[in-house]
Amino acid sequence: VEMVLLYVVTAKKGKLPDDFSSDAHSIHAKPLYPASLPCQFVSNGPAQNPMQVPSGYGLHHQNYIAPSGHYSQGPGKMTSLPLDAQRDDYYSGLYTVPTQNVVPPSTAHQQPGAQQLYGRGPPAPHVGGSTPGSFQGAASSASHLHTSASQPHSSFVNHYNSPAMYSANSSVASQGFPSTCGHYAMSTVSNAAYPSVSYPSLPAGDPYGQVFTSQNAPAVRPVTDRSFSGPNTAISHPSPLPPPPSQQQHQQQSLSGYNTLSWSAVGLPSTQDSLLRNHTGSLATANNNPANTVADSLSCPVIQNVLPLKSSPVAPTVLSAASSARMPPPASHPVEPVASVTQPSELPQQKGMQYGDYVNNQASSAPTPLSSTSDDEEEEEEDEEAGVDSSSTTSSASPMPNSYDALEGGSYPDMLSSSASSPAPDPAPESDPAPAPTPASTAAQPSKLPKPFGYGYPTLQPGYQNAAAPLGASVQPGSPAYSGFQQYPQQYPGMSQLSSSLGGLSLQSAPQPESLRPVNLTQERNILPGTPVWAPVPNLNLELKKLNCSPDSFRCTLTNIPQTQALLNKAKLPLGLLLHPFRDLTQLPVITSNTIVRCRSCRTYINPFVSFIDQRRWKCNLCYRVNDVPEEFMYNPLTRSYGEPHKRPEVQNSTVEFIASSDYMLRPPQPAVYLFVLDVSHNAVEAGYLTILCQSLLENLDKLPGDSRTRIGFMTFDSTIHFYNLQEGLSQPQMLIVSDIDDVFLPTPDSLLVNLYESKELIKDLLSALPHMFTNTRETHSALGPALQAAFKLMSPTGGRVSVFQTQLPSLGAGLLQSREDPNQRSSTKVVQHLGPATDFYKKLALDCSGQQTAVDLFLLSSQYSDLASLACMSKYSAGCIYYYPSFHYTHNPSQAEKLQKDLKRYLTRKIGFEAVMRIRCTKGLSMHTFHGNFFVRSTDLLSLANINPDAGFAVQLSIEESLTDTSLVCFQTALLYTSSKGERRIRVHTLCLPVVSSLADVYAGVDVQAAICLLANMAVDRSVSSSLSDARDALVNAVVDSLSAYGSTVSSLQHSALVAPSSLKLFPLYVLALLKQKAFRTGTSTRLDDRVYAMCQIKSQPLVHLMKMIHPNLYRIDRLTDEGAVHVNDRVVPQPPLQKLSAEKLTREGAFLMDCGSVFYIWIGKGCDNNFIEDVLGYPNFASIPQKMTHLPELDTLSSERARSFITWLRDSRPLSPVLHVVKDESPAKTEFFQHLIEDRTEAAFSYYEFLLHVQQQICK
């Protein structure tokens, strides 16, 4: 095929048409894809999952939508249901699972099973790569489904399953439970994996029957209480669990059998929705006829093999799962119940356990049947655990929890963020249950069964109402508020146990919270804990803790907000928020409703922390205005009950997504539009990125997020600008050349952006030809500015995403740049100049783009200085993202080429939101004054985001303008309004609730050191650009000096000569030192200006989890991996080596070490490394034969190789980008890269950690 060239006459400097024609010829001659092209993508396995997820979301949505329409009517149907049922229903819908836990002992076992199922379900997606991305989306819903399914159990199922009626109940739809669909999907998946297992959880049906009994046994769960310390509860649980299992199992099995049956019937995902509904409906019915349901469950002998497994043993496994929460793929748990049992001691797992217990407790406390209480959420994480303990209380409690988890943190499975999320949720759940149960409950291990559901109802209400006074608020009579620092349960396992055993009632008003334990920094040699650092859990009552937003999405630097600005100033700590609002979530409640309930004065979305004054009025928690509850809100679609607005999903989840109505649109939702602007100058052709890009695009063309309206276009440029006419109907792509770069115009505006599906063949032709079209070019100039102007013109009617690939300094037309870097100044310790942009051209362009809802993403692949500081502006202010590949060359620098491939794969397929705005609101008295991230601040609290992607993080600095003395809680809410790639307008809302404290000690106790460091890093970047780098460095050091001296002089009673920090701040100096040695801020070490600027860009735009790895990498020793403490993920055993401190003293020549820097892995092989390891893992006979450049571990069939690979895979799965692996030999030149990350060591230009401490101490004493 020949390309038709239209020579656009504008040519002032135009080339001759002949040239073009020759190009065309060359194209013909060449094969579309040179054999030489690497098939890089194969390796991406892990990355794909994340990618798919987002897409899955989109799909779900669609599915959901349809149902929602049907269901919106739900309320009317509701009326038919008996009131009693409604309550139950409600719970069951949302929380059914937990309540069900209450079910009689026998059933109890079942629940565990169910939980396991859940666990599996969510993880399943991970495991089965094949499973559609949709799973994630579904996951949350899936859990719901489970629960519902379980409840309905046999009886319901029987009665109502088949009839669409229940589904009609619509409650589901209206609630936005579309997610439920997902649940189903999940469940189905799990079934496949573990057919028998999955459904046992369902026993929920039993729950009802149990409910009766359960109420009796209220005391049962006490053990769980105080779950603060996850571990404690865990301990208690194990004992109780074992006994009941057999009986319960049997019963449950029968029940489960039932469930399974129903499930299987459901089978299909599409049907899932309907099924879900059915289930819910069934649940409701079940509630009505508890006795019947029970009977049914019993009657259903069906399978349930699974159940037994899940029974007591399961519970422990669950726990492990919970622990695994950090890890994305905890799914495996169900499989390995036994193993998990052994390890129950582990905190996270235990927590999970606790949850379950606690659920039961709740149930017990409240005799009411449904019990599905909100508590479930937390449980969800642990899922399985809860199931175990609680046995089958009401409906399948477990499902609900899953969904919640997903909702909240998404911590579970998919969570890229991995670690942070899990911890927080766990503690909360545990604690909640505990109080109610009291000690007696512990004794009642069997009693776990009781866990009646009733609890949920009452408790919830109080919680809400009390929102203002969180501590005391705890609804349940027995449960006292948690004073003190329960938050830190993990640290204080012992404490928690005690407290829990005492009867969750009394809190651990413990003496001194772990976070306040003074640490003498200069004497503490091993300051770095052996396990990853979790986010502290805000010191709220259990109820609120469970509801609170996952720390993965939303973190505050101080989890105890000081009452006044004066107090904050005294503490010398930064106050701010770190956001990751568009994170990939596995479970997210999606709500479709005609009216989105918001405060009438401040427009806050209704959230779990508002208080209901009575049935018809609620009080905004941000501005304290009293609002009416709209009629529609009185109906709960989940349970199809009426009159319980506090049980609506909006009020039960701190992370929800609304499908927005046309009120939220300024124009019809835009289609997904992608434009690629490619540099094809000589330099670019030399670097060879085109082949990689085109290959990647060809492979992912079908996975680009979008719907049938998706449009795509291409532009290339050197000294002229080339457009490609891909209009449907042409026989081949047409190239249109515009050489008038001073006054750019669009040659054929209508046919340059074409429908992806209508013109797919032409697009493929073009992508195949593109890499070879310019091979002989001699054009060295780059007219980037005019190309961007043209791109803007092309995109402005619709908006969308522009991806710019640039390989050199722009040298022609508007926006041309001069080289500003003086190579001799690279290692200067004095002034680093030119960190800011050289021209406002790119900034203006970005603002224009932002105004037209167009984001510009920059891929800079250069071998020389390209003035990233100026170029980055185009992405910074248009909410784009920036990728930088220094010294890129497709053959000479294979690791960069591999990185580009992997990044592109993620980039092209990840979820995307268009024409987005994000508004952050906070309680009256607080105000936001500075924002960090890539966006344009359109008005005081409104961030304009032309595009939003799941990898974007934001930070906000706060100040306290009015004293907060009249409130005990503050809340923050971010609302992200965006258009999904499917053309839906959606609002994702996160709400975070934090306590207010009045003493300095409490402020220090609540410091989230990682969040504080990330915020400081953002502030330091601003300071570097607006002032100077040395100012920023001084400010960082001063931050440590000031906060530690403030602590020493006010809180600490120890002698002043020592450098003392509260335990919560003990890593602060280490992290600040790490920042000072970061590429962005280091001095004295040769650093290229672009590298430095890129590091700054990353600091500004990365979410916390990724940023922390960049600042302070994790080091593990991997030549002696053992199964001790290993976790099980998807049937794989993943060893958990302890973290090593970043110092050469930890490196032994006999060892091999893995360093996880977030976007890159290094494996350092010592000279004296055991030959067995080298042979077993690397596949070479000895050290000398290891090649210099090695980027993959061979798949060898040895134990140590398997362990190493499963560990690395596990690390990779926890993040969106698949990092590149470098094997670094001790003697290779590459080792300097490895060693520069050893931040505790001294370098010629910087302090060692100990020296830094001495320096800080010296400064304090001044």
Partner 1 sequence: MEALVFVFSLFDCCALIFLSVYFIITLSDLECDYINARSCCSKLNKWVIPELIGHTIVTVLMLLSLHWFIFLLNLPVATWNIYRYIMVPSGNMGVFDPTEIHNRGQLKSHMKEAMIKLGFHLLCFFMYLYSMILALIND
Residues 928-947 that bind partner 1 (CB under 8 A): 929-931, 936-940, 942
Size of the site for partner 1 (CB under 8 A): 24
- The verdict on 788 binding partner 1 (CB under 8 A) reads no
- The verdict on 843 binding partner 1 (CB under 8 A) reads yes
Residue number, 748 or 1026, with CB nearest to partner 1: 1026
The C-alpha atoms of residue 265 and residue 161 are separated, in whole angstroms, by 9
Stretch of residues binding partner 1 (CB under 8 A), selected from 599-607, 823-831, 926-934, 1148-1156: 926-934
| Least distance in angstroms from the C-beta of 1037 to partner 1 | 21
Candidate residues 851, 886, 894, 1125; the one interacting with partner 1 per rule CB under 8 A: 851
- The verdict on 1120 binding partner 1 (CB under 8 A) reads no
- The verdict on 847 binding partner 1 (CB under 8 A) reads yes
Residue number, 522 or 833, with CB nearest to partner 1: 833
What length does the chain have? Answer: 1262
| Least distance in angstroms from the C-beta of 928 to partner 1 | 9
The C-alpha atoms of residue 281 and residue 1000 are separated, in whole angstroms, by 52
Stretch of residues binding partner 1 (CB under 8 A), selected from 56-64, 794-802, 843-851, 1087-1095: 843-851
* Tokens standing for residue 228: 């603060």
What one-character DSSP code corresponds to residue 161?
A: I
Residue number, 942 or 1261, with CB nearest to partner 1: 942
| Least distance in angstroms from the C-beta of 858 to partner 1 | 16
Tokens 């991970």 found at: 126
Q: Which of 425, 112, 33, 120 is nearest to 1129 (CA)?
A: 120
| Least distance in angstroms from the C-beta of 844 to partner 1 | 6
| Least distance in angstroms from the C-beta of 915 to partner 1 | 15
The C-alpha atoms of residue 245 and residue 105 are separated, in whole angstroms, by 8
Candidate residues 840, 962, 1150, 1227; the one interacting with partner 1 per rule CB under 8 A: 840
Residue number, 260 or 806, with CB nearest to partner 1: 806
The C-alpha atoms of residue 1247 and residue 1240 are separated, in whole angstroms, by 8
Name residues whose C-beta falls within 8 Å of residue 1197's C-beta, 6 or more positions apart in sequence: none
- The verdict on 877 binding partner 1 (CB under 8 A) reads yes
- The verdict on 79 binding partner 1 (CB under 8 A) reads no
Candidate residues 665, 746, 838, 1193; the one interacting with partner 1 per rule CB under 8 A: 838
DSSP letters, 622-635, are TT--EEEPPGGGGE
Candidate residues 62, 833, 839, 1248; the one interacting with partner 1 per rule CB under 8 A: 839
Stretch of residues binding partner 1 (CB under 8 A), selected from 177-185, 454-462, 923-931, 1099-1107: 923-931
The C-alpha atoms of residue 103 and residue 214 are separated, in whole angstroms, by 5
Report the sign of the C-alpha dihedral through residues 810, 815, 819, 821, in that order.
Answer: negative
Across 594-629, b (16+ Cβ under 10 Å) vs e yields eebbbbeebebbbbbbbbbeeeeebbbbbbbeebeb
Residues 84-113 that bind partner 1 (CB under 8 A): none
Strand partners, 858: 804, 882
| Least distance in angstroms from the C-beta of 871 to partner 1 | 11
Residue number, 109 or 876, with CB nearest to partner 1: 876
- The verdict on 1210 binding partner 1 (CB under 8 A) reads no
| Least distance in angstroms from the C-beta of 353 to partner 1 | 46
The C-alpha atoms of residue 1023 and residue 1020 are separated, in whole angstroms, by 5
Stretch of residues binding partner 1 (CB under 8 A), selected from 315-323, 674-682, 842-850, 1065-1073: 842-850
Count CB neighbours of 848 within 10 A. Answer: 17
Exposed/middle/buried for residue 496 (C-beta within 10 Å: 0-12, 13-18, 19+): buried
Residues 305-324 that bind partner 1 (CB under 8 A): none
Alpha helix segments (H runs only) across 151-226 = 153-156, 164-169, 171-175, 178-193, 195-198, 205-216
Residue number, 969 or 1089, with CB nearest to partner 1: 1089
The C-alpha atoms of residue 187 and residue 61 are separated, in whole angstroms, by 18
| Least distance in angstroms from the C-beta of 940 to partner 1 | 6
- The verdict on 602 binding partner 1 (CB under 8 A) reads no
- The verdict on 785 binding partner 1 (CB under 8 A) reads no
Name residues whose C-beta falls within 8 Å of residue 897's C-beta, 6 or more positions apart in sequence: 38, 40, 688, 692, 888, 889, 890, 891
- The verdict on 818 binding partner 1 (CB under 8 A) reads no
Cα-based angle 873, 878, 880 (whole degrees, multiple of 5): 85
The C-alpha atoms of residue 666 and residue 423 are separated, in whole angstroms, by 40
- The verdict on 870 binding partner 1 (CB under 8 A) reads yes
Residue number, 81 or 1089, with CB nearest to partner 1: 1089
Residue number, 79 or 1027, with CB nearest to partner 1: 1027
Stretch of residues binding partner 1 (CB under 8 A), selected from 159-167, 841-849, 1154-1162, 1190-1198: 841-849
- The verdict on 837 binding partner 1 (CB under 8 A) reads yes
- The verdict on 844 binding partner 1 (CB under 8 A) reads yes
Residue number, 387 or 953, with CB nearest to partner 1: 953
**Is 775:699 a contact under the CB 8 Å cutoff?**
no
Q: Round the CA-based radius of gyration of the chain to a whole number and report it.
A: 29
DSSP letters, 333-372, are GGG-HHHHHHSTTSHHHHHHHHHHHHHHHHHHHS-SS---
Q: What is the per-residue binding string for partner 1 in 1016-1045, x denoting contact by CB under 8 A?
A: ------x---x-------------------
The C-alpha atoms of residue 358 and residue 341 are separated, in whole angstroms, by 19
| Least distance in angstroms from the C-beta of 931 to partner 1 | 7
The C-alpha atoms of residue 381 and residue 401 are separated, in whole angstroms, by 6
Residue number, 264 or 839, with CB nearest to partner 1: 839
| Least distance in angstroms from the C-beta of 937 to partner 1 | 4
| Least distance in angstroms from the C-beta of 870 to partner 1 | 7
| Least distance in angstroms from the C-beta of 935 to partner 1 | 9
| Least distance in angstroms from the C-beta of 842 to partner 1 | 8
Strand partners, 992: 972
Strand partners, 372: none
- The verdict on 831 binding partner 1 (CB under 8 A) reads no
| Least distance in angstroms from the C-beta of 1027 to partner 1 | 11
Contact residues toward partner 1 (CB under 8 A) are: 836-840, 843-844, 847, 851, 869-870, 873, 877, 929-931, 936-940, 942, 1022, 1026
